[in-house]
Structure 1
Amino acid sequence: MSNEIKCRVISKGIEEGEAIVTKDSISFLGGVDPDTGIVIDKKHELYDQCITDKILIIPSGKGSTVGSYVIYQMIKNNTAPKAIICQNAEPIIAIGAIISKIPMVDQPDVDIINLIKSDDLVKVNADEGYIQIQ
Structure 2
Amino acid sequence: MILKGRAISKGSGRGELLVSPAPISFLSGVDPETGIVIEKGHPLEGESVAGRVLAFPYGKGSTVGSYVIYALAQNGRAPAAIINTEAEAIIAVGAIIAGIPMIDSLPADLSDLPGGSIVTVDGDTGELACDDAT
TM-score class, shorter: over 0.9
Identity %: 48
Q: Which residue of 2 aligns with 1:42?
A: 40
Q: Which residue of 2 aligns with 1:119?
A: 116
Q: Mind listing any 5+ residue stretches in structure 1 that lack a counterpart?
A: none
Shift of 1:118: 2.5
SS of the residue corresponding to residue 99 of structure 1 reads helix
Shift of 1:108: 0.7
Amino acid at match of 1:95: V
Residues 1:51 and 2:70 are matched in the alignment: no
Question: What's the Cα RMSD here?
Answer: 0.8
Residue by residue over 1:30-68, the C-alpha shift from the partner in whole angstroms, topping out at 9 and shown as x without a partner, is: 000000000000120000111100000001110000000
Q: Which residue of 2 aligns with 1:86?
A: 84
TM-score, structure 2 normalization: 0.95
Residues 1:25 and 2:19 are matched in the alignment: no
Shift of 1:105: 0.3
SS of the residue corresponding to residue 14 of structure 2 reads strand
Residues 1:129 and 2:126 are matched in the alignment: yes
Write out the 4+ residue segments of structure 1 that deviate beyond 3 Å after TM superposition: none
Shift of 1:25: 0.1
Residue by residue over 1:84-125, the C-alpha shift from the partner in whole angstroms, topping out at 9 and shown as x without a partner, is: 0001111000000000110000011221x1221321111101
Q: Which residue of 1 aligns with 2:108?
A: 110
Q: Which residue of 2 aligns with 1:99?
A: 97
Distance 1:89 1:64 in 2: 15
